[in-house]
Amino acid sequence: MGRISKNLSLDFTLVDDFSNLSDEEQTLVRKAEEAQTLSYAPYSKFRVGAAAMLDKGIVMYGSNKENASFPAGICAERNLLNTISDTHPTAIILAMAVIASPMEFELSDVLAPCGICRQVLCETEKVQGSSIKMIFKYSAISYVVIDGCENLLPFHFYLSELKR
């Protein structure tokens, strides 16, 4: 068969100002900003907050937590997903915002979840049977909105693929 080249593309919306986000998106961004102030990041000095809107109108948030025993820390996204799983196990996550506040440098590009968080987000979508809208800060005033975590990790995998 030889070699076949394929191209993957990412569909996203660039929102040029906070005021152009929907009310729900603004609420999530504010809660994620609040959450990042609760971060414990003495080593990386990279504070991250995440907030999620659940199907019952509940907004929950979480922050990253580091530990001197690397890699014992946890990212804000997974901290939040674990809390939702424990406190609202049947809830559907509709949307999530992720905001970072680096203490020693400035972000020059969109903040996006790490690979582990992308895999966990994709599996969360698969388990709940619906997409999660993701909102990331792009610059001081703009945001990226992505419909569905599968757009973040095109070659994700699930338990069904691990069975023999």
Q: Which residues are catalytic?
A: 77
Amino acid at 82: N
| Omega before residue 89 within 30° of 0, cis | no
Would you call 151 exposed, middle or buried from its count of C-beta atoms within 10 A (0-12, 13-18, 19+)?
middle
- Whether the CB-CB separation of 99 and 75 falls below 8 Å is answered with no
Half-sphere exposure of 99 (CA within 13 A, CB side): 27
Q: How many whole angstroms separate alpha carbon 33 and alpha carbon 77?
A: 13
Q: How many whole angstroms separate alpha carbon 56 and alpha carbon 12?
A: 26
